[in-house]
Amino acid sequence: MITISVVVTLSIPSALSLKDKRSVVRSLVERLRQRLHVAAAEVGMQDIVQSGQIGFAVVSGDRGVARHLADEAHRFIEQELIGRAEILDVVVDETAIEG
């Protein structure tokens, strides 16, 4: 089994309040869940108005499939954030579990 977890750090310069920021973050998290069927959540910087962190995870029995889905989710995030936010950092952790 392969698990890939990804944490994406965002800059949201247009956010003037936590409500503005959360509308960007929450909508992105929901679209990741609905369209790509990955586990996703806001994982950090919840109280910082113009920054955010989104995490998502992929689990598969096939390394290639897991990597493809993680890459697809990353591209999806980039497309969804155009004009709304900027990706500052991406941290990827890939773990293989032999069973």
pLDDT digits (tens, 9 = 90+) for 39-78: 999 999 999 999 999 999 999 999 999 999 999 999 999 9
Say what the pTM is.
0.91
Closest CA to 31 of 96, 81, 65: 81
Question: Which percentage of the chain shows pLDDT scores above 90?
Answer: 96
Provide the H-helix boundaries in the chain: 18-31, 63-80
CA distance 36 to 84: 20
Half-sphere exposure of 72 (CA within 13 A, CB side): 14
**Rounded distance, CA 83 to CA 96, Å?**
36
- Name the one residue in this structure whose structure tokens are 């113009």: 50
Whether residue 35 has pLDDT greater than 80: yes
Q: How far apart are CA 18 and CA 99, in angstroms?
A: 43
Domains and CATH numbers, the chain: 2-96 (3.30.70.1120)
